[in-house]
């Protein structure tokens, strides 16, 4: 709820926080499904730690891309704005995400403690899922919701 409120105040919008929170929750749900399919145990504190880390990373990437999109929409149509927003933010998103994913996977490989190794894998997968959702799904959501996000000022005649 606090994430929604902070984004709402930051963007002065109700639709943007809704889109971003849905994206974040989707990323967390996908990541938390991994232990179910791999039949890997996950301790409760691990779930909390991974969820918080992933929430922070995903919201950071999503805010960066959304902010660039809104800035570009001031001067360009929505398709071109998405292209520019991705061009301006994808390097930062990928660098940050790949570093976090690498750290998680390295932790999984070097740890002899099964719970820590499991958390490392989830950090790695979570960062990867977050990057992919922000780079591949968020632009589509912004495009579809453009009319709700960008309100044109009525021209005075």
| pLDDT tens digits along 62-100 | 999 999 999 999 999 999 999 999 999 999 999 999 999
pLDDT of residue 152: 63
3-class DSSP state of 150: coil
DSSP characters over 11-65: HT-SHHHHHHHHHHHHHHHHHHHHHHHHT----HHHHHHHHHHHHHHHHHHHHHH
pLDDT of residue 155: 46
pLDDT of residue 153: 53
157: in domain: no
Mean pLDDT of 94-116: 95
Label residue 2 by pLDDT band (50, 70, 90): confident
153: in domain: no
Residue 105 contacts residue 120 (beta carbons within 8 Å): yes
Cα 62 to Cα 139: distance, rounded to the nearest angstrom: 10
65: in domain: yes
154: in domain: no
pLDDT of residue 71: 95
Q: At CA 151, angle to CA 73 and CA 82, rounded to 5? A: 25
74: in domain: yes
Q: Range of 136's domain?
A: 2-146
152: in domain: no
Residue 85 contacts residue 68 (beta carbons within 8 Å): yes
Label residue 46 by pLDDT band (50, 70, 90): confident
Please state, for a pLDDT cut of 70, what percent of the chain lies above it: 96
Cα 35 to Cα 77: distance, rounded to the nearest angstrom: 42
Q: What is the CATH number of the domain that holds 67?
A: 1.20.1640.10
Residue 144 or residue 154, greater confidence = 144
112: in domain: yes
Q: At CA 70, angle to CA 60 and CA 153, rounded to 5? A: 145
pLDDT at position 36 over 90: no
Mean pLDDT of 115-128: 92
pLDDT at position 35 over 90: no
The domain tally of the chain equals 1
Alpha carbon 87 to chain centroid, angstroms? 17
Poorest-confidence range of 18-22, 43-47, 132-136?
Answer: 43-47
Cα 61 to Cα 48: distance, rounded to the nearest angstrom: 20
11: in domain: yes
pLDDT, averaged across the chain: 91
Mean pLDDT of 16-39: 91
């Amino acid at each position: 709820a606090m994430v929604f409120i902070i984004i709402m105040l930051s963007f002065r919008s109700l639709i943007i926080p809704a889109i971003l929170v849905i994206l974040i929750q989707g990323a967390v749900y996908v990541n938390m499904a991994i232990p179910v399919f791999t039949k890997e145990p996950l301790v409760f504190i691990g779930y909390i730690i991974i969820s918080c880390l992933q929430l922070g990373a995903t919201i950071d990437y999503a805010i960066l891309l959304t902010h660039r999109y809104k800035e570009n929409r001031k001067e360009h149509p929505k398709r071109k704005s998405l292209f520019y927003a991705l061009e301006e933010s994808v390097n930062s998103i990928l660098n940050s995400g790949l570093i976090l994913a690498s750290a998680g996977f390295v932790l999984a490989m070097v740890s002899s403690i099964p719970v820590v190794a499991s958390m490392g894998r989830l950090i790695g997968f979570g960062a990867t899922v977050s990057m992919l959702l922000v780079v591949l799904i968020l632009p589509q959501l912004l495009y579809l919701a453009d009319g709700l996000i960008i309100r044109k000022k009525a021209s005075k005649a």
